[in-house]
Amino acid sequence: MLTNEEKRVGIYAENQPIRPETVTPETPLDALNLNWTERDLPERERTKHVHRLHPYLGKFIPQLVEVFLRKYFAPGQTVLDPFVGSGTTLVQANELGIHSVGYDISAFNVLLCQAKTAQYDLDLMQNEVLDILERTRRATQRKEPQLSLLFEHQAEYTPSTLGGDTEYLLHWYAPRALQELLTYRSFIDTGNYRYKHLLKIILSRSARSARLTPHYELDFPKQPQREPYWCHKHHRICEPTDEAYKFLHRYSLDTIRRIREFALVRTDARVEVYHADSRTAQFPPVDGVFTSPPYVGLIDYHEQHAYAYHLLGLQDLREGEIGAAANGSSERAKAQYVQDICAVFRNALKAMPQGGRLIVVANDKYGLYPIIAEQIGVEQEAVLHRHVNRRTGRRSSEFFESVFIWRKS
């Protein structure tokens, strides 16, 4: 006989993985089998429209968000994500007509969320993306470019021209790639474009791919790769990247397509994004929370997008990251993590009505979330577990995450 926990996990064979679009407020928790396989949920569905506007390590899939938004939120209500990350909660809430508000200490995350969720004049958006691409092509794609120069005039090759961290940019990019990226950036700065935030995301995505890194180490490269190398991703000898325009071209077309695809399902539901520390931010009234906090000692979120901070001159608040990998996973780090997460959730609970739900997705391998629930004084309604069988990066180990459903009592 199956235990209640086994039923709640949804691992029994006759219970097929749930299709998110079939979930309603009346769907029992026992029916929520969240263990999707690649066949159940192929990559093209997990990365639909703007969900792959820019790579982001550690995000949850939109279908998981959709399941719980359909069950616990109604159109016209407002959901809060205090760790908004790449904006998956905001995008899925908008699709369902649910208002959303997100906060993040990472300036890049906020920029990415704004680009994903903005309401665009589609023809103007496309014209701007293609215009800056063409201007960059004309300025950089010569038959014999002088690759030793970052711009046509050597006098412009100065630290002030480079902006941000000059040492970082010169360390991680070949001269031609850097020339092309900086040319594109200069046109963002000086051009009369309405959607500069979207152009910055195209630039950032291109900068990520154009670094002198092995193809299999794009998440957290260790050192510049300046010689041919054996590529674990492509299973052959690969050459270091020395140009960026091909990425600007590829991602410009991809961005236009993705923005247009999202426009077909986008609603008029309100989306707000704030660059702030959720421990101290003043949250507006919301109906509930759906979020996935950072894990203990796993990812440095600012470092993940270091190229964007250096290239775009974004405000770096990494010292305020909760659970940063740089802080490790010692007992002291775990205690600080519990304290910080509790501060965020207590702050969120103040913005929620009695009976509102705080739904948290986490890989709780240290067993910290029952402690957090007790300290913030919520009622635990259920805990669901799921096997994450598709991961980003080169990780091959088994990975599980839990969905904690708490109620404000």
Q: What is the pTM of this model?
A: 0.89
* pLDDT tens-digit readout, 92-141: 999 999 999 999 999 999 999 999 999 999 999 999 999 999 999 999 98
How far does Cα 252 stand from its chain's mean position? 19
Write down the residue that tokens 């007790």 correspond to: 374
Query: Do 283 and 257 share a structural domain?
Result: no
Choice between 255 and 8, residue whose per-residue pLDDT is larger: 255
Across 294-343, where does the E strand assignment appear?
Answer: none
The residue type of 309 is Y
Query: Do 95 and 219 share a structural domain?
Result: no
Q: How far is CA 182 from CA 39, 139, 186, 337, in A?
A: 42, 11, 6, 39
Are the C-beta atoms of 83 and 292 separated by less than 8 Å? yes
* pLDDT tens-digit readout, 271-324: 999 999 999 999 999 999 999 999 888 888 888 999 999 999 999 999 999 988
Reported as a pLDDT band with limits 50, 70 and 90, residue 398 is low
Write down the residue that tokens 């429209």 correspond to: 49
DSSP-based three-state secondary structure for 247: helix
Query: Do 114 and 187 share a structural domain?
Result: no
Structure tokens at 121: 């004049």
Query: Do 273 and 184 share a structural domain?
Result: no
Structure tokens at 188: 């963002």
Reported as a pLDDT band with limits 50, 70 and 90, residue 215 is confident
Domain with 91, as residue range(s), is 4-119+266-291+300-407
Structure tokens at 288: 């509930």
Query: Do 135 and 214 share a structural domain?
Result: yes
Query: Do 131 and 185 share a structural domain?
Result: yes
Return the exposure string of 206-221: e unless at least 16 CB atoms fall within 10 Å of the residue's CB, then b.
bbbbbbbbbebbebeb
Reported as a pLDDT band with limits 50, 70 and 90, residue 389 is low
Q: Count of residues for the chain?
A: 409
Domain total in the chain: 2
Query: Do 253 and 165 share a structural domain?
Result: yes
Which string of DSSP letters, residue by residue, matches 353-378?
PTT-EEEEEE--TT--HHHHHHHHT-
Query: Do 365 and 400 share a structural domain?
Result: yes
What does the pLDDT average to over 240-262?
Answer: 96
Identify the pLDDT of residue 11. Answer: 43
CATH number for the domain spanning 60: value is 3.40.50.150
What does the pLDDT average to over 147-162?
Answer: 42
Query: Do 234 and 274 share a structural domain?
Result: no
Query: Do 270 and 258 share a structural domain?
Result: no
Are the C-beta atoms of 74 and 96 separated by less than 8 Å? no
The residue type of 392 is T
Query: Do 147 and 237 share a structural domain?
Result: yes
- Phi and psi based region of residue 104 (left: phi greater than 0; alpha: psi -120 to 50; beta: remaining): beta
Q: Which residues pair with 167 in a beta bridge?
A: none
Cα separation of 183 and 180, whole Å? 5
Query: Do 384 and 281 share a structural domain?
Result: yes
* pLDDT tens-digit readout, 332-368: 999 999 999 999 999 999 999 999 999 999 999 999 9
